[in-house]
Chains A and B, each alone.
Chain A
Amino acid sequence: MIAHRALSARYIYSLHPESTWVVAQGQLVVCGEVLAKGVRFEHASAAGVITSISGNTLILETTPDEQSVQMQPLNGGNSAAILRRIQEAGIVGLGGGGFPTHLKLLAAARKRAQTLVVNAVECEPGITCDAALLQENQATVHNGIDAVRTLLELKSIHIAASDKTDFEYHAGSTTVIRQPKPTDGAERYLVERLTGETVPVDALPVDLGVVVLNVATLHAVGQALQGVPLTTRVVTVFGENQWVRIGTPLTAFSNAPLVCVGGELSGADISTTGATDKRTNSIQTARGFLNLPCIRCGACDDTCPEQLPVATLVSLAAGQAQSTVRDTASRCIGCGLCNPVCPSSINVAGLVRTLRDSQRAEALRTNNIVRAEQRYLRHTSRMAAEELAQAERRANRLARLNPESIPISSSHDG
């Protein structure tokens, strides 16, 4: 049995820019009550009083009564109802991506996706929350998959699991990946392994008609249909799996100033002043990078599964070089294999991520600039054409009024 973490004294929630708070400071809420609405819904994960809403952060101080509220169970709903329920339950990708699940499924429906891949591979060392969840809550996961089948006309269902579970949706649906390598759970590689299709670098699996969902996300979908909003999830806390409420302050886990969230390879060291959110799937000791000088040994190049010029990207990120390989940073899958091999204890994956983000921002900026220039040119030529047409109309009008005063340069017949 996965244990439930004890109630914390307070919970902290973040508002996504596309949502708005629907509660006020001082308000009493119960567990499961809606805190924010929009593309992403947020729910209170415990009963208590809202002591502070400041900008994007809401703080809830708990009361011991543990009251909660649920939605009506949704039986036999149509696609629209199911999607709405998924949205209103606040379900986002629990594998770490945090993308709104209802939008993902909507895109999949539009692209007529026919293949579902349930990702329970969990290749990051030290994290076992997905496997534990899958083993204990098979019925709910099953219901979640059923719901997706209602939304999409699926021809095949693949479940990628480690050897810690015996879950099968139907006979032959599960592929067990023993001792998975840290890259085995990456979406692109998983799709290729299970379906044989290669996802192009600048495309998503859904473009090939494949939708990949984390098993915890599907579990949340199953729960949502029963009326339970997303307020808690399984997290591997220093190796032990627990049901952790969304928004648990990180100080509840460790006294250290930093903890590693998301896995020691592909995660990040974040400050314990924050709290868990829906994407938090593990809490481990912070890596503590020393960030000594790079000796250009190339160990990071050798470990990269995408064969990126990592060492060059590191010196780019440190501002030490100009390079034409800057745009390869966008191919980084974030596996983090480059970190443990660095002799100078540099946060290589973190640097590449920063480079990738700044490169994306720059690409967006350039895109916008190019677009604006095109529109400007079209605007100027349109205005010039309109002025010309206007002048011609005026000349016509004058000509009709006063035939003797036809300008010699007019280009029309009387």
Chain B
Amino acid sequence: MMAERMTTSRIMREVILALIPGFAVFAVLYGPRVPIHVALACLAAITTELICLRLRGETWRSAVQVLRDGSAVVTALLIVAAVPPAAAFGISILAAVIAIGLAKHAFGGLGRNLFNSAMTGYAMVLVSFPAAFSLWPANPDGLTGATMLDVLKHDAGRTLSEFTGHPAFGDYGAAGFELMALAWLAGGLYLLWRGLIAWRIPVGLLITVAVIAVLLWDGGGSESLGTPLQQWFAGGLILAAFFIATDPVTHPRSKQAQWCFGFIVGVVVMMVRAGGSFPDGIAFGVLLANAFTPWLDRRFP
């Protein structure tokens, strides 16, 4: 009679499915630390959720039922995707605990959180342990080194063509990063095709980033941030655009509001990339845009 009913756990299942290509590349490139991070972060997320649900008055049985919606696992996965594998395992565990315990359940649980829970956890460990976040290996051999954004920011003397010669880079992002970004993109396009995410947000975000990159372009000289495409493939932008900013609970509902949301994230990301002391501003961009969501919903119903 009717199509098979979509449930929250089915949606989460699709998201996990869409994350698989990216995680596969992630694990192949960066070794066995990746699945260990995944396992530990998921365990931490699930345990935190169980404890929080008990504290909120659920029985063990009903708590397990709630767990089955899969949202805690998705949060954990997004945190692991953002944290460098070389970082201590405790970092992703801590981020997961904060994300689930503070950002999600302290606000009322699924559907009631104001801020993206994965980004809250990630932002807190980012500002608390900044050194751990420059530990992205420059190439698949696992040697630690700077990320492309790090290099762009701190090596102001080099021109763009000198960059692309640096071992960290392929033609667009760093070689490994390019592949991962493409894998995230594949997953993101899958989610778009399934109609599970609001397309205006990733599109708005990417367009904003591209436009600002063009505006700040100085012909490939030493002060520039790179081409739009380089910006897109740098850091976790593709992951953020399709998986993080599109968390339905924390973004606004209407068309215009969603364009604004994508714009805000893009602007903050580029501001941090251009002038902030952190190499990437995705977490801050998403969190700030989350803060605007209730007003955007009121202003553009």
Contact = CB atoms under 8 A, between A and B. Distances in A.
Asked if A pairs with B, the answer is yes
A321 B294 CA distance: 9
Interface in A286-334: 292-299, 301, 309, 311-312, 321-325
B192 interface: no
B253 interface: yes
B188 to A, nearest CB: 17
Given A323-B301, A341-B6, A309 B253 contact: yes
Interface of A is mostly: loop
Contacts of A295: 8, 11, 110-111, 248-249
Contact of A343 (B2, B10, B109, B112): B10
Contacts of A125: 1-2
Name, among A125, A297, A324, the residue most crowded by chain B CB atoms within 10 Å (CB to CB).
A297
A297 B248 contact: yes
Nearest to A301: B253
B203 to A, nearest CB: 16
Contacts, number: 61
B222 interface: no
Contacts of B11: 295, 297, 343
Name, among A126, A294, A322, the residue most crowded by chain B CB atoms within 10 Å (CB to CB).
A294
B253 A293 contact: no
B218 to A, nearest CB: 41
Contacts of A294: 111
Contact of A298 (B1, B112, B253): B253
B1 A324 contact: no
Interface string B236-259: 000000000000110001100000
A325 B301 contact: yes
Interface residues of A, number: 24
A344 B69 CA distance: 10
Nearest to B252: A296
Contact of B111 (A299, A321, A344, A345): A344
A343 B6 contact: yes
Name, among A126, A293, A309, A324, the residue most crowded by chain B CB atoms within 10 Å (CB to CB).
A293
Interface in B191-250: 198, 248-249
B1 A345 contact: no
A165 to B, nearest CB: 21
Contacts of A298: 198, 248, 253
Given A293-B110, A312-B253, A323-B301, A299 B6 contact: yes
A340 interface: yes
A345 B112 contact: no
A312 B248 contact: no
A309 B296 CA distance: 14
Nearest to A125: B1
Contacts of B10: 343
B128 interface: no
B150 interface: no
A16 to B, nearest CB: 35
A340 B11 CA distance: 15
Given A295-B111, A298-B198, A343 B7 contact: yes
Interface in A255-302: 292-299, 301
Interface of A: 125-126, 292-299, 301, 309, 311-312, 321-325, 340-341, 343-345
